[in-house]
Amino acid sequence: MPLTSRLKADQTPDQKTGLKNDSQQRNELMNRPFNFSAGPAVLPQAVLERASAEMSDYAGSGMSVMEMSHRGKEFIKIAEEAEADFRELLAIPTNYKVLFLQGGAMLQFSAIPLNLCSDGAEVDYLTTGYWSDRAVTEAKRHCRVSLVASGEADKFTTIPRCSQWQLNDKAAYFHYCANETIHGVEFPDIPDVGAVPLVCDMSSTILSRPVDVSKFGLIYAGAQKNIGPAGLTVVIVRDDLLDRARPNIPYLLNYKILADNASMANTPPTYAWYIAGLVFKWVKEQGGLSAMAKLNQRKSQMLYKAIDESGFYKNPVEHNCRSWMNVPFTAPDERLEKLFLEEAKKAGLLTLAGHRSVGGMRASLYNAMPVEGVTKLTEFMADFARRNR
């Protein structure tokens, strides 16, 4: 059954599913606050509606998904459908495993070196912001990290030019972050590092556009941005990398063990996995990743246009690497930024504060943020600037 209602405009909501028709959903959308949080982030309204309808009784099972055994036939079906839809959306080749794990993307900062290189091996890392820098700090506990390049000297407002990178063709892998959620820096394309396995933190960009998975050795992503609730992490790993784990790696960090057990070496985050499955179906109904890319590019262009033409707000990131997903911006001074956040909240524009490490404001425009939300934000920004010049 589709997530979005197919009822006519003059019909009432289906009492069994709780889903509403398009007209009712649009009315509710315009009255509901818009959540610009960087994560946990906004979820599609249709997903929330379906989860609400199925909360106490999933598909006539008499159980909530939260109450089900992960070994039971009901949840096994949920898990298998979610993986199949995810694979379809990203066109994941058959020689890659998909893992649904716990611990957040930060746990993978440790799991990756423990799985992909021997003790003392050299690995390449590129730092373009807060999260790739944190990944470096953790990797240094487990291997020899070669810093290929860093954007720190430019206050993480750009990506170092490839000509400046000091690559090691014998590195066990090359790690980068596709999108820096805090600084709003995003790679416009996939780096070419030769035969070295490419490892990518794709937490803030996964499912926002098509991506050629075959160019990567491993992709990982925290779910709480474009996939679903916090508590779930997705790892896509190429088969030939599954036998590199160190002998002393913790059992639940071993990708081979997790893959052999279909991500159920222990009890997985079942409810988050279920919600992720609903999100995958919703993305498919929107037209897939090509449609998501067009929508996300449109939303980000609207917001950057409002910033650049305002003469009031500023975005510090170089134009060629501005994020579609996370847009930081500032007002002329901290007093006005505080006032902006207070008034925005009253206007139904929520969680626009920038990360504590950089301040200012930040709007996250993940898949589930509708165009209406960005429109309302840009209109508020224009009005606020007019009143406070």
Residue 284 is among the residues annotated as catalytic for this protein: no
Catalytic residue among 201, 273, 281, 299: 201
Own/partner pairs, 82-87, CB within 8 angstroms, 24+ separation: 82/273, 82/274, 82/276, 82/277, 82/280, 85/277, 85/280, 85/281, 85/284, 86/234, 86/276, 86/280
Instruction: Work out the burial of residue 192: count CB atoms within 10 Å of its CB; fewer than 13 is exposed, 13-18 middle, 19 or more buried.
Output: exposed
| Same topology between domain 65-282 and domain 288-387 | no
Topology given in CATH for the domain delimited by 288-387: Aspartate Aminotransferase, domain 1 (3.90.1150)
Q: How is domain 65-282 classified at the architecture level of CATH?
A: 3-Layer(aba) Sandwich (3.40)
Please state, in angstroms and rounded to a whole number, the distance separating the CA atoms of residues 45 and 262. 30
> Whole-prediction pTM value?
0.92
Per-domain boundaries in the chain: 65-282, 288-387
What is the structure's pLDDT at 32? 84
Q: What is the structure's pLDDT at 28?
A: 57
Q: Which two tokens stand for residue 176?
A: 């980068």
- 165 included as an active-site residue: no
List of residues 6+ apart from 163 with CB closer than 8 A: none
Q: Give the pLDDT of residue 12.
A: 37
pLDDT at 25: 53
Q: Which of 131, 273, 282, 324 is catalytic?
A: 131
Given 225, 281, 299, 376, the catalytic residue: 225
pLDDT tens-place string over residues 119-133: 888 999 999 999 999
Q: Strand 218-222 vs strand 233-238: parallel, antiparallel, or unpaired? A: antiparallel
- The reply to whether 273 belongs to the active site is no
Alpha-carbon distance of 316 to 95, in angstroms, equals 40
pLDDT tens-place string over residues 188-232? 999 999 999 999 999 999 999 999 999 999 999 999 999 999 999
For 25, 34, 361, the CA distances from 379, given in Å and listed in that order, are 22, 13, 16
